[in-house]
Amino acid sequence: MADLRTVLQNTINSFVSNNTLGIATKNAALFSAFFRAQGETNADYETQKQLEFHTMQAVAQNVTRTVIDVSARRATIWTEQTITTTTANGGNGLQGGVVEVIWDFDFTEDGTRIKRIMEC
């Protein structure tokens, strides 16, 4: 089980990295296949994210807590996200804000992929 725990943690780390990189590079394909409990598709989520990219410049994420249930192949992480956005008037200044985001994950049997995500 210790090895599976490591695999799950690595999958979580990749998700967080892709989330940060996806915003920085405006690449919605780096985000997950399922974002909401309703089962939004990649295409639906990527379309929505492209709209958000017009106002988002960067995000810095700090994972403050991680809980992994190895036998159930589930995890929850708490993150503090500092989001940098463009100003509403299109000026050169940037505004930032800090929000707490909680992510619940269900993993595939081998733990290398996330099959369901819920953002709270």
Tokens of 31: 């985000």
In the block, which residue shows the tokens 């997950």? 32
The predicted pLDDT at position 75 comes to 98
pLDDT tens-digit map of 12-62:
999 899 888 888 888 877 765 444 445 566 677 777 777 777 777 788 899
Range of the domain at 21: 2-119
Which residue in 66, 55, 65, 64 sits closest to 97, CA to CA?
55
Number of folded domains that form the chain = 1
User: How many other CB atoms are found less than 10 A from the CB of residue 109?
Assistant: 9
3-state SS assignment for residue 71? coil
pLDDT tens-digit map of 71-105:
999 999 999 988 887 765 555 556 677 889 999 99
pTM: 0.77
| Alpha helix stretches (DSSP H) within the chain | 2-25, 42-53
| CATH number reported for the structural domain that contains residue 27 in this entry | 3.10.450.50
User: How many other CB atoms are found less than 10 A from the CB of residue 111?
Assistant: 21
